[in-house]
């Protein structure tokens, strides 16, 4: 199926550093979601974005819905070892009142070293 | 918050046998559930959309006779991998949401690791 363009593919960072990743699409999206997946588990929702320009925080996580509606980024500030995992963006080009299917990015593997 | 439970967490079966995976919405009713498959180091690929009381909608390339989906109640959807083969070994994840996208983003179960020997 169609995927979003998510980058970077992987990141190796030191504890305390900030992390930034982004997703882009060729079409306009109405919803952007960011998930984190630990090994052997299902993805856990981190942040949901529904409006262009929206900037939302969840603890040390901040995500924004791009003004063009074709991109979104996720920042993690002051990383800690438990931030290790794979982060996925997901989006939908359907109206937010619909049951449209989500498209997923390829994921960003984050590795945090002490 | 919405909780999706998946069972079993892992299963090993012999080639040619069938395996059933359950997906339950624990604290809400889900008229629609989704089944995904994930291969190692890859993203989630939607297999099918499970609709309560009606036939599932399969994505292109997914064999509906091999991956049987039953959504008999508002809280339970099952995926049966029939005549499993080693290439069916994968991580299967179900998901559900309470309502349309704005009201409730997609929540996932913990996945089922299927190994076919």
Q: What is the pLDDT of residue A54?
A: 95
The C-alpha torsion from A105 through A110 and B111 to B109, rounded to 10°, is -80
Tell me phi and psi for residue A81, to 5 degrees: -55, -35
Using a CB-CB cut-off of 8 Å, the residues of chain B touching A92 are 101
| B43 to A48: CB separation less than 8 angstroms, yes or no | no
pLDDT digits (tens, 9 = 90+) for B77-117: 999 999 999 999 999 999 987 666 555 678 899 999 999 99
* Whether the predicted pLDDT of A92 surpasses 70: yes
Q: Average pLDDT for residues B16-30, to the nearest whole number?
A: 92
Which residues in chain A are closer than 8 Å to B49, comparing Cβ atoms? 101
For A55-103, give the DSSP string: EEEETTEEEEE-TTSSEEEEEE-S--GGG-EEEEEEEE-S-TTS-PPPE
In a mutagenesis test of the B interface, which of A9, A35, A39, A43 is the best target, namely the one with the most B β-carbons within 10 Å?
Answer: A43
* A contacts of B45 (beta carbons < 8 Å): 1, 104
Task: Say what the pLDDT of residue B31 is.
Answer: 80
Structure tokens at B64: 């509906």
Q: Whole-angstrom Cα distance, residue A44 to residue A23?
A: 18
Q: What is the CA radius of gyration of chain B?
A: 13
Q: What tokens does A39 get? A: 């090994």
Please state which of the ranges A29-43, A80-94, B44-58, B93-107 shows the lowest mean pLDDT: B93-107
Mean pLDDT of chain B: 90
Q: How high is the pLDDT of residue B98?
A: 67
Contact between chains at A31 and B105 (C-beta distance less than 8 A): yes
- 8 Å CB contact between B83 and B66: yes
Paired strand residues for B62: none
**pLDDT exceeds cutoff 90 at A95:** no
Could you tell me if A55 lies within 8 Å of chain B, comparing CB atoms?
A: no
Confidence of residue B72 (pLDDT cuts 50, 70, 90): confident
Q: Does A65 touch chain B (CB under 8 A)?
A: no
Instruction: State the nearest Cα–Cα gap between A9 and chain B, in angstroms.
Output: 10
3-state helix, strand, coil in chain A (%, to 5): 5, 50, 45
Contact criterion met (CB < 8 Å) for A101 and B34? yes
Q: Answer whether residue A100 shows pLDDT above 70.
A: no
């Amino acid at each position: 199926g169609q995927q979003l363009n998510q980058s970077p593919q992987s990141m190796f960072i030191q504890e305390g550093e900030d992390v930034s990743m982004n997703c882009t699409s060729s079409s306009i999206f109405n919803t952007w979601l960011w998930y984190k997946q630990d090994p052997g588990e299902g993805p856990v929702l981190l942040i949901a974005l529904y409006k262009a320009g929206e900037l939302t925080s969840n603890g040390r996580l901040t995500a924004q819905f791009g003004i063009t509606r074709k991109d979104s980024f996720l920042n993690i500030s002051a990383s800690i070892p438990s931030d290790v995992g794979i982060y996925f963006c997901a989006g939908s080009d359907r109206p937010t009142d619909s049951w449209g299917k989500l498209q997923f990015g390829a994921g960003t593997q984050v590795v945090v070293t002490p | 918050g919405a909780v999706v439970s998946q069972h079993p967490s892992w299963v090993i079966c012999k080639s040619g046998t069938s395996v059933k995976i359950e997906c339950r919405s624990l604290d809400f009713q889900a008229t629609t559930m989704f089944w995904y498959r994930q291969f190692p180091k890859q993203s989630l690929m939607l297999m099918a959309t499970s609709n309560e009381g009606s036939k599932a909608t399969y994505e292109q390339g997914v064999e509906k006779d091999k991956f049987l989906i039953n959504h008999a109640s508002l809280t339970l959807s099952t995926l049966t991998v029939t005549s499993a083969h080693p290439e069916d070994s994968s991580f299967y994840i179900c998901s559900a949401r309470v309502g349309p996208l704005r009201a409730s983003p997609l929540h996932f179960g913990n996945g089922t690791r299927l190994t076919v020997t």
